Structure 1
């Protein structure tokens, strides 16, 4: 069975909205986009290349597709491993309105995305990787379809914007798999869901 792996950029207050550009995602009046770009460096590219090499397919939402399709089909340098992966991998796009694309390898998921992902995970193959796609992620998280999170935390607080785990999300605990750090201060936490949180109270130790 294939595993579904989530990669997303987060501020310290948990916001994922508009990391890559000022105009990337201004929904809800968000005007703080482009907050990841100043932290880009070689470590970030190396980690992304390493993890993309494990992918068997990409699963992305409509808004992320609209961003990716403007750039990646033009990234045809054979020495750009990220561009090669993005263009060569099968890409499943959750969209109720689109049905065709000039970008190679794209298929659109117009029906029940939850059932589609369950069927996709049942097939053999490499990782099914989700990049960005915050709205789609909310659905995947709500139905416990995520097997691993690669969360890139950046040293910035935004104070507004859409959050990966908003208020009202089902409580979850996680198993820590790995931590990585980039030279510009991003910390990458690799986590796997581990059921419901446990609760206890600190006890005062007395002699």
Structure 2
């Protein structure tokens, strides 16, 4: 059975960058060699991506223009996109999830493979957490505060998490790995 891993990069105050260029400029200052290696290893682990509409649209503009091992991997892997507004056909080796998103992801988890990775936290994450479909959350926290913007897990209710481990990088960034335990 494939595992679903959700990975999010946030500031110390829980802000996610989305389309804010200043946020990403700050994050990239903390992409030390060990952070980059961690992110590369994470990308090389799964055989498919789960994406919400916003992440899909953002990634589909950036990744096809990039080169290297990580770009080759992400550009070639299948992507499953949850959206109520996108229409087929999707580009960038992507398939639109039709009908009940939770049921579709349950079926994807049953397929043979290495795993499913979702980047970012949003409505898709909320649906998967509510339905018990997330096997692991990886929250990469950077040592700065951003002060405003969308917070990870905003409006998602209460969920308890079991800490699996924490790793500190040379840049001061930390990744916390959690196993969701369910709604509180």
TM-score bracket, shorter-length normalisation? 0.7 to 0.9
* 2:58 maps to 1:71: no
Whether the aligned pair in 1 keeps the contact of 2:47 and 2:114 (CA below 8 Å) is yes
SS of 1:72's equivalent in the other structure is helix
Q: State the alpha-carbon separation in 2 of the partners of residues 196 and 63 from structure 1.
A: 25
* 2:103 maps to 1:115: yes
SS of 1:16's equivalent in the other structure is coil
SS of 1:191's equivalent in the other structure is strand
SS of 2:91's equivalent in the other structure is coil
2:43 matched residue in structure 1: 52
1:1-207 map, 5 Å: 1-18=1-18, 21-22=20-21, 33-34=23-24, 35-75=26-66, 77=67, 80-96=68-84, 97-103=86-92, 105-166=93-154, 169-174=157-162, 176-195=163-182
Q: CA deviation at 1:167?
A: 5.2
Q: CA deviation at 1:196?
A: 6.4
Q: Return structure 1 stretches of 4+ with deviation > 6 angstroms.
A: none
Whether the aligned pair in 2 keeps the contact of 1:17 and 1:163 (CA below 8 Å) is no
Q: Structure 1 residues 162 and 123 mapped into 2: Cα distance closer, same or farther (>3 Å)? A: same
Q: CA deviation at 1:15?
A: 2.0
Q: State the alpha-carbon separation in 2 of the partners of residues 143 and 116 from structure 1.
A: 12
Higher strand share: 2
SS of 2:95's equivalent in the other structure is strand
Q: CA deviation at 1:93?
A: 1.1
Q: Per chain length, whose mean CA-contact separation is higher, i.e. which structure has more relative contact order (CA < 8 Å, sep 6+)?
A: 2
SS of 2:159's equivalent in the other structure is coil
* TM-score normalised per structure 2: 0.87
Which runs of 5 or more structure 1 residues have no equivalent in the other structure? Answer: 23-31, 198-207
Q: State the alpha-carbon separation in 2 of the partners of residues 3 and 46 from structure 1.
A: 21
Q: State the alpha-carbon separation in 2 of the partners of residues 152 and 169 from structure 1.
A: 21
* TM-score normalised per structure 1: 0.79
Q: State the alpha-carbon separation in 1 of the partners of residues 135 and 89 from structure 2.
A: 29
Whether the aligned pair in 1 keeps the contact of 2:121 and 2:153 (CA below 8 Å) is no
Q: CA deviation at 1:133?
A: 4.9
